[in-house]
Structure formats: structure tokens, C-alpha cells
Amino acid sequence: MIIKDNIDEFYSYLTDAGNLKGYAVKLFLPESINELNETVNFCFLNNLNITMSGAGTGTTGGRVALDGVIISSEKLNKIISFDEKKLLIEVESGVTLNQIYDFLADKNCFYAPNPTESNSTIGGNIANNSSGARSFKYGPTRNYIQKLEIILSNGDVLNLDRNQKANDNIYEIIGNSGRSYKFQIPNFEYPKTKNSTGYFLNDGMDLIDLFIGNEGTLGIISKVTLKLTEKPENILGFLAFFENYESSLEFVNYLRNQKTNQNEKLCRLIEFFDFHSLALINKKMQSIPKLAQAAIWFEIESNHENSDAIIEDIFTKIQEFTNLADDTILAQSQNEHRLLTDFRHALPLEVNDIVSKSGFRKIGTDTAVPEKYFKEFFEFMNSTFINSGIEYVIFGHIGDCHLHGNLFPKNQTQFEIALEIYKEIIKKTIEFKGSVSAEHGIGKIKKQYFEMMIGADNINKMKEIKKIFDEKNILGIGNLF
Ligand SMILES: Cc1cc2nc3c(=O)[nH]c(=O)nc-3n(C[C@H](O)[C@H](O)[C@H](O)COP(=O)(O)OP(=O)(O)OC[C@H]3O[C@@H](n4cnc5c(N)ncnc54)[C@H](O)[C@@H]3O)c2cc1C
């Protein structure tokens, strides 16, 4: 195992894509699950705080240690087994999305959740219950976790299977040591939107769900079995441009409610780009029409028989909403799809680049609201951003009423104004019964908003649950609360 105790040699592990800076005394890079287990035991005996690190693409400081040691999963990168018939793949937690995509490229199935940053690890995705554009149809990471192996801070190992249920409001799991971890499930009401805020707790819940979205605070994910989905025969991608926001939002309303003959959602993803986003990525894609104020990227799964009819119907529909219909980009081949995926991916990369050059930490919303409030919410965010005079972009998962509004303050005064604006957006989200973090998690930078959303009493209930699994309180310190 590689161990680094000279901070200059592991400096890059002391931050993440959100640009928060941290500190640690040591970095461990275990090369097997046994070594991971040994490292955890060593830390427990020596009362060392442990922060787990995946690929560091998180945006909320989750992997940024404040003290103690960092354990990186990057050498735990083996694909353990694959069962094409049962549509299951078992991997170590440091395996990246790119590794999974490459492995499945020539198979007849795919891993449905697709957080935009494919360098991220599956462990990081599970710890944050990450989502991607395709979550519009397929849901978040949570829905694709069949089995989890968790190492607790005391070294005990939990093997969780999707079919194990909580009973009569009691959560109970027995560790490999024979020890029981048990508590009464508190009654929480979660937003009925995409959500990545703290522990998942529900009467009758699957035991495994507690460990999805816990942000490295309850246990360390060592191994996971993921559920796969059969590949569709064909995928149609569209990038449509609009002369104003109103018509783009109306078009999204239309798309959101379209169903297939099997009564499934017609689109598997619906993504939004505002004018400023288009300006930011214009360098990479010259085919953006000059009059475009907004764009919508969407994908539809089809087969060889119905593809032409779908394309014709969609083009007719687009013409009803925009005069820029002729500029619509259609993707069918792998290269054409890659162009649209790269276009979407370029945006958060540009955003993170601006943030890291600015020297300020990221101020980007990750909120989702119920559909009935979305238009009002969008108008509130857009007008507040315009009035601030601070540069910004708004883009993201509009199918799920979940947008990323990023402000780019240039000096301390603008930074403080941006923080106030952020708080206003959070208040509006809570007023509309939405989630203050739909996919990026709470980490270290969104704790006050998490508390605004669920209240101090509920935070205390979560802290009590943490004590049951992490008796010395050494895991993921500073995350969530
Ligand atoms: C360009 C860009 C685009 C992005 N797009 C999306 C998106 O579309 N959707 C989305 O949801 N997110 C997105 N993100 C955020 C980020 O990619 C996700 O949060 C991702 O899941 C983080 O994975 P990671 O491996 O980088 O984890 P890290 O950043 O290293 O860690 C994230 C959290 O997971 C914990 N953790 C990591 N590994 C383990 C483990 N083995 N056991 C226990 N805890 C662990 C860490 O302690 C930390 O709290 C984006 C980020 C970037 C930079």
C-alpha cells in the first residue's frame, strides 16, 4: 500500500471541484479491500478521523478532509464480475464511470445513471446518490444499487442486499462480527423531487438505502453490485434552439408529458442551456445560431421501425415553439451523440475552470422544485441573477425541474452578494417544498441550507443514527452536520 505523509506529495487531494481547501496528516492508497480494512482498523485504534476520497469531482467539499487522514479508493479499481443474463456487475468502489462504460461498450446492456463527470468513482456516486441527465427517465444512482459491502469505522463489515427490509419502523442490520446495529426509524418527510440531502429514512425502507447518499459519514463503501439495463435499439438526440426562455420552457412542458406506447416517458433526458451558457460554450460549437437565447437537448429511445416517424413528429413540434427549428441538430450516429454529450459536459468544466481561477469557492445552485412551481422558480432565479450585475450561467436537468445556477463573483463584495442571492434561492426552494441539493450532496458547504430545509431536530436525529454506526465519530467529519 502507498502511504504519503508529506503534504506536498498529496496536495491535490486536499480540494475538490468545488475549490474548498482542507488539511490532512496522511494519505493512504490501499490496493485491495484487505488493505482498506487494515487501514480503517489502524485509524480506529489510533482515533484518527477518516475522510474517504474518490476522484475528487465532488463540488461540495465532501472529500476535503479538515484533519486526520485521507483514504483514497483510486487503487480499488477492479471489475470483479459481470452477469449479462441477470444484468448485474460487481465492482470495487474506486471503479470510475468511464471504466464501466468502456467495459459495457460492446455488451447488450448499459449502466443507466450517468452523472456528467464520468471520471467520478462509483463509490463517490453512491455516497452522494448522484444523478445524471438520464435520471429524468431512469432515476438516481440509488435505483441501481443491488448489493453493497460497507466497512464501518470499527472494522466490522456489513453486507447489504436490496431485498433486506426494515420491519415495523425498526432498522436492524447484523455485521459480520455478529454485532447488531439497530434503531427506530424517525419519521421524515422528503421533498417529492430529486434529492441528495442526508440519510434516507422511511418506514419499510430497504436497509441498503441508508448507505446511499450518506456522504462517507456512516461507513466506507468497498464493493458494490450494480443493476444494468438492456440497451435500446436506437437513440435519437436533438439540440433545439429558442429565441426566448418562455418558448423553451413551454417546449419542455410539452416534452415532459409525452409518453411512449408502453406508457413510459418518451424522453430519457431533457437538458437546458441559458443564453450565457451558450455564450460560454460557443467557442466549442460554432453552430449555435446567433438569435438563440436558450437551447434544449433531449434524447428519445427508439427502434429501427419508428425512428423516422419520431423524427418527423418532433421536427413538426419544434416548429410550433421556435423560429430557429431549422437550426436543430439531430444526433443518430455515435460521433453525433458524442458531439452533444461533449457540448453538455463542456459547460460544468468551463464553470469549474472559471471558479478555480477566481480564487473564490463555487457558488452554484443544485436545487429542484416540484413541477407546478418550476416556472415561477425559474423566473425568480433568472431575474435575481440579472439584477445582481454578477456574471452567471443557468443550465441543467430541466426535465427534473433541477437547474444549476452558477454565479461568478469577481471580488469580495460580489462574493458576499452572491452568497446572499444563493440564500434567497434556497429560501424560495424551501417555500416551494423542493430540495436544497438534488444531486451534489451537502458536503461541507451546504450545511446551513440543509438545516434550513429539515430543521435542527431532524439533524439531531441523523446525528444519533451516525453514532450507532460510527461510535468514535471519526468518519466524514464536517460532512452533512
Ligand atoms: C464537470 C462536473 C460535472 C458534474 N456533473 C454531475 C452530475 O451530472 N450529477 C451529479 O450528481 N454530480 C455531478 N458532479 C459532481 C460529482 O461528479 C459527483 O458528486 C460524483 O459522484 C463524485 O464522485 P467522486 O468519485 O469524484 O467523489 P469525491 O468527490 O472524491 O467524493 C464525494 C463524496 O463521496 C465520499 N466517498 C467517495 N468514495 C467513497 C467510498 N468509497 N466510501 C464512502 N464514501 C466515499 C467522499 O467522502 C465525499 O463525501 C459533477 C462534477 C463535475 C466536476
Query: For 182, what's the count of Cα atoms within 13 Å in the CB-facing half-sphere?
Result: 8
Residue ID of nearest Cα to ligand 1 atom 5:
116
* Burial status of residue 335 (CB atoms within 10 A of its CB: 0-12, 13-18, 19 or more): exposed
Q: Which atom of ligand 1 is nearest to the CA of 140?
A: 11
Residue 90 belongs to some domain of the structure: yes
Q: Which residues have CB under 8 Å from 145's CB, separation 6+? A: 126, 162, 208, 212, 224, 225, 226, 227
Task: Record the pTM.
Answer: 0.94
Residues 376 and 398 in one domain: yes
Residues 109 and 217 in one domain: yes
d(CA 66, CA 295): 40
Residue ending a domain, choose from 230, 256, 286 = 230
Angle between helix axes 307-321 and 245-256 (nearest 10 degrees) is: 150
Backbone dihedral angles phi then psi of residue 425, each to the nearest 5 degrees: -65, -40
pLDDT by position in tens, the chain (length 481): 999 999 999 999 999 998 899 999 999 999 999 999 999 999 999 999 999 999 999 999 999 999 999 999 999 999 999 999 999 999 999 999 999 999 999 999 999 999 989 999 999 999 999 999 999 999 999 999 999 999 999 999 999 999 899 988 999 999 999 999 999 999 888 899 999 999 999 888 999 999 999 999 999 999 999 999 999 999 999 999 999 999 999 999 999 999 998 899 999 999 999 999 999 988 767 778 999 999 999 999 999 899 999 999 999 999 999 999 999 999 999 999 998 998 888 888 888 888 888 888 778 999 999 999 999 999 999 999 999 999 999 999 999 999 999 999 999 999 999 999 999 999 999 999 999 999 999 999 999 999 999 999 999 999 999 999 999 999 999 999 9
Q: Do 434 and 369 meet the contact criterion of CB atoms below 8 Å apart?
A: yes
The answer on 375 and 238 residing in a single domain is yes
Q: Domain for residue 453, yes or no? A: no
- Identify the domain containing residue 41 by its residue range: 2-72
Which ranges in 129-235 belong to alpha helices (H)?
Answer: 135-138
Contact 200, 462 (CB under 8 A): no
Q: Reduced to 3 states, what is the DSSP secondary structure of residue 129?
A: coil
357 and 249 in a single domain? The answer is: yes
Q: Is the minimum distance from the CB of 437 to ligand 1 under 6 angstroms?
A: no
Domain identity same for 321 and 403: yes
pLDDT of residue 358: 85
Q: Which three cell numbers stand for residue 384?
A: 435575481
Distance, in Å, from the CA atom of 52 to the CA atom of 328, rounded to the nearest integer, reads 43
* Nine cell digits for residue 212: 446511499
Classify residue 205 as exposed, middle or buried by CB count within 10 Å of its CB (0-12, 13-18, 19+): middle
| The ligand 1 atom nearest the CA atom of 351 | 1
CATH label of the domain that carries residue 124:
3.30.465.10
Distance (Å) from CA 138 to ligand 1 centroid? 19
Q: Is 396 in the pocket of ligand 1 (CB under 6 A)?
A: no
The rounded Å distance from CA 364 to ligand 1 centre is 15
Number of domains in the chain: 3
CATH number at residue 374: 3.40.462.10
Q: How many CA atoms lie within 13 Å of 317's alpha carbon, on the beta-carbon side?
A: 16
Mutating to test ligand 1, I would choose from 121, 199, 365, 474 the residue with most ligand atoms within 8 A of its C-beta, which is 121
Q: Which residues partner with 420 through β-bridges?
A: none
Q: Is the CB of 440 under 6 A from ligand 1?
A: yes
Q: Is the domain of 191 the same as that of 242?
A: no
Q: Which of 368, 428, 434, 425 lies closest to 392 in space, CA to CA?
A: 425
Rounded to the nearest whole angstrom, what is the distance from the C-alpha of residue 303 to the centroid of ligand 1?
Answer: 34
Q: Which of 230, 250, 285 is the last residue of a domain?
A: 230
